Amino acid sequence: MTFLEVFLLAVSLCFDTLAVSIVGGACLGRLTFGKVAKILLFMALFQGGFTFAGWALGASVEQYIARYDHWVAFLLLAFIGGRMIVESFSKKEEVKQVDLLGTGHLILASAATSIDALAVGISLAIVGTAVGRMAYYCTVIALVTAAAAAIGIFGGDRLGRRLGSRINLLGGLILIGIGVKILLEHLFF
């Protein structure tokens, strides 16, 4: 993948992090370097780590599905992207109180916002991504996630009111687009 593709993948993965950080940022009160650094570190490490864990899991099953790998990658990304698009049209109310300062809550929020990264990691293993490239991808994903969390925290609920559910819609479309690209590359090239 090109840097732009990796960057777009990272951006699409961190929309949940952005949303949680926006809500959490509105509830944090006075921001300090320590508060912000802790949140950014947890969110970034979980997102990058889950991507790598998915890749490790996917690499162990790659030999069994090599003939169908492009279809599996496409279906995983289409499923995740489709779910994000459906969520973007959901009418459910967001919880207005998100505690990102307690370590337990922060771990749960970080893990919950990184589940999609696990599936993306599996799809990257299935298409034969080497460990060196994977380390690079995970680093980009972690850095973009940290940036998204910072934007969310500092933007607070102001950004959330402007973009609303369009954040998930955009992320879903990007993931589906990457899945279609993988499928077309394997079918026609």
Tokens of 121: 């990691």
Lowest-confidence segment of 11-20, 37-46, 49-58, 174-183 by average pLDDT? 174-183
Using CB atoms within 10 A of its CB, is residue 41 exposed (0-12), middle (13-18) or buried (19+)?
middle
* Contact of 24 with 165, CB cutoff 8 Å: no
Dihedral angle, C-alpha 117, 7, 173, 89, nearest 10 °: 70
Q: How does pLDDT run across 102-150, given as a tens digit for each residue?
A: 888 888 888 888 888 988 998 899 888 899 999 999 999 999 999 999 9
Distance between CA atoms of residues 42 and 37, nearest Å: 9
**48, 135 in Cβ contact below 8 A?**
no
* pTM summary value: 0.72
pLDDT mean across residues, the chain: 81
Beta strands in the chain (DSSP E): none
Question: Tokens in use for 114?
Answer: 């990184």
Domains of the chain in sequence order:
3-188 (1.20.1250)
42 CB contacts (<8 Å, ≥6 apart)? 106, 107, 109, 110
Let me know: does 88 contact 20? Beta carbons within 8 Å. Answer: no
Convert the pLDDT of each residue in 69-82 to its tens digit.
Answer: 778 778 877 887 78
Yes or no: say if 17 and 113 are a contact pair by the CB < 8 Å rule. Answer: yes
Structure tokens at 130: 């080497």
